[in-house]
Amino acid sequence: MATKAKEERYIETVGRRKTAVARARLTPSPRTIVFINKKDVNDYFPTELLRVTALDPFLKVGLPTQFSVNVVVRGGGIAGQAVAVRHAISRALVEYQADLRTTLKKEGFLKRDPRAKERRKFGLKKARKRAQWSKR
């Protein structure tokens, strides 16, 4: 009885990239339904590249038709949000089935991309851009 209750529950994980934070809920279901911020994935991500980036973990592990996915993503830009969704889905798949970890880790989906915008320093125009040096 305990295993049946566990199968019906969802798996919730968090994925991040730059300032984007994605909270993904994966629920086992007979067909794939992907919603991001209460919109269909095709409506939320306008380009095919962003859709492929977000749903890549399913393609890599070969489980495309087993989950209903509901994602709430906040902050950042559209590309950062797509990578944050990918990170959250990858973490949830590993929680669902531990032997998928090697495949997803090899692809680099489980590592949070640490690159972010560098802060602006005083006396400079941007993080590293300076005023042009003048000889006279």
Rounded CA separation 72/24 (Å): 7
Q: Which domains does the chain have, with CATH numbers?
A: 2-107 (3.30.230.10)
pTM: 0.86
pLDDT at 9: 84
Rounded CA separation 31/11 (Å): 17
pLDDT at 1: 44
- For 99-135, the pLDDT digits (tens) are 999 999 999 999 999 999 999 999 999 999 999 999 9
Residues of the chain with confidence (pLDDT) below 50: 1-2, 4-5
pLDDT at 29: 86
Q: What share of the chain is helix, strand, coil (3-state, %, to 5)?
A: 40, 20, 40
pLDDT at 8: 61
Element (H, E) at 36: strand 33-36
Which position has the token pair 């919109």?
39
